[in-house]
Amino acid sequence: MMVCPVCEHEQERGVECFVCGKSLLAVAAPADPTPQLDGLEATHAEALPAPAPERFADLEPTALEVPEPGTPG
């Protein structure tokens, strides 16, 4: 007899609880991470600031008022 760890529903079989849908399968522990191979360079992307977006010339402005940065409200 299987018991759901969330709602404590008892059921004969199944991979998920018939009441709440919680998965009843045991998840295997992840394997040890693979060690880095010798002679390979680590790849890291530099954190660069994003460029400011350009305004579209033909785009109509919105009818809503947008507060200036630093203005409360």
Give the global pTM.
0.35
Amino acid, single-letter form, for residue 24: L
Task: Name the most confidently modeled range: 2-6, 36-40, 45-49, 59-63.
Answer: 2-6
Closest C-alpha to 10, from 18, 27, 25, 23: 18
Taking the C-alpha atoms of residue 20 and residue 18, their distance in angstroms, rounded to an integer, is 6
Rg from Cα positions in the chain: 27
Q: What is the mean pLDDT of residues 2-19?
A: 90
**Between the CA of residue 32 and those of 29, 35, 36, 38, what are the distances in Å?**
9, 9, 12, 18
As given in the structure block, the two tokens for residue 71 are 């203005």
